[in-house]
Amino acid sequence: MVHADASNFAEGVTKEQAYTQVLLQAEGLFDGQRNWVCNLANTASLLWHAYKSLPSPSRQVNWAGFYTLDPQKKGASPQQQLVLGPFQGKVACQTIAFGRGVCGAAAATRTTQLVPDVEQFPGHIACDGDSRSEIVVPIVTGEGDERRLVAIIDVDCADLNGFDEVDKKYLEQLAELLAKGCDW
């Protein structure tokens, strides 16, 4: 198979079907390949092309990608920050402090942030003034006391209410797949 074919999503499928294809393709791509940069880069491409195959608001997604725990700031908790990882879309903020904005909140609380209107979110960081709604899902590895945040999935939409519980469900499954499928 030519790899680019993995980015081809049929028109007219449901969001559930598109996400199911993303998960299946991602699982296939991660088989035998645990490099996190490589896997996040291909996953950003899968997500981007899945959204573009769907009707609005999903089609209005204007950024899909990742931030990872900044290796320069792995020390004490107050200094922790995220650093930009692979993505598709326009140029993005390079670092985000834990707790700051939607991404920082997801990282600090390790819980998905589903934000129907970013302007209503306290401390929202406007990397792109076109973004109106956002979903951020933490990627957490390890068990028990060893649990640690390694990255977040971040998707922005130029429409309000771009994301719902379906996005949350499937992106959380994707986060789990990435947590287990990469060497962090």
Q: Which is nearer to a second copy, 90 or 110 (CB)?
A: 90
- Given a contact cutoff of 8 angstroms between Cβ atoms, the answer to whether 93 and 154 are in contact is no
> Which residue has tokens 């199911």?
20
Least distance CB 35 / a second copy (angstroms): 5
d(CA 29, CA 154): 20
Least distance CB 101 / a second copy (angstroms): 13
Query: What is the phi/psi pair of residue 94, to 5°?
Result: -85, -40
In sign, the C-alpha dihedral spanning 113, 118, 119, 120 is: negative
Q: Which is nearer to a second copy, 24 or 109 (CB)?
A: 24
Q: Which is nearer to a second copy, 60 or 68 (CB)?
A: 68
Q: Which is nearer to a second copy, 29 or 105 (CB)?
A: 29
* DSSP for 48-90, written as a single string: HHHHHTSPTTGGGEEEEEEEEE-GGG-SSGGG-EEEEEEEEES
Least distance CB 161 / a second copy (angstroms): 21
Q: Which is nearer to a second copy, 61 or 127 (CB)?
A: 127
Instruction: Give the full edge-to-edge strand order of the sheet including 148-157.
Output: 95-97, 81-89, 61-69, 148-157, 133-141, 113-115
Least distance CB 126 / a second copy (angstroms): 6
For binding to a second copy (CB under 8 A), which residues are involved? 2-8, 25, 29, 33, 35, 37-38, 41-42, 45-46, 49, 63, 65, 68, 70-72, 83-95, 126-130
Least distance CB 13 / a second copy (angstroms): 17
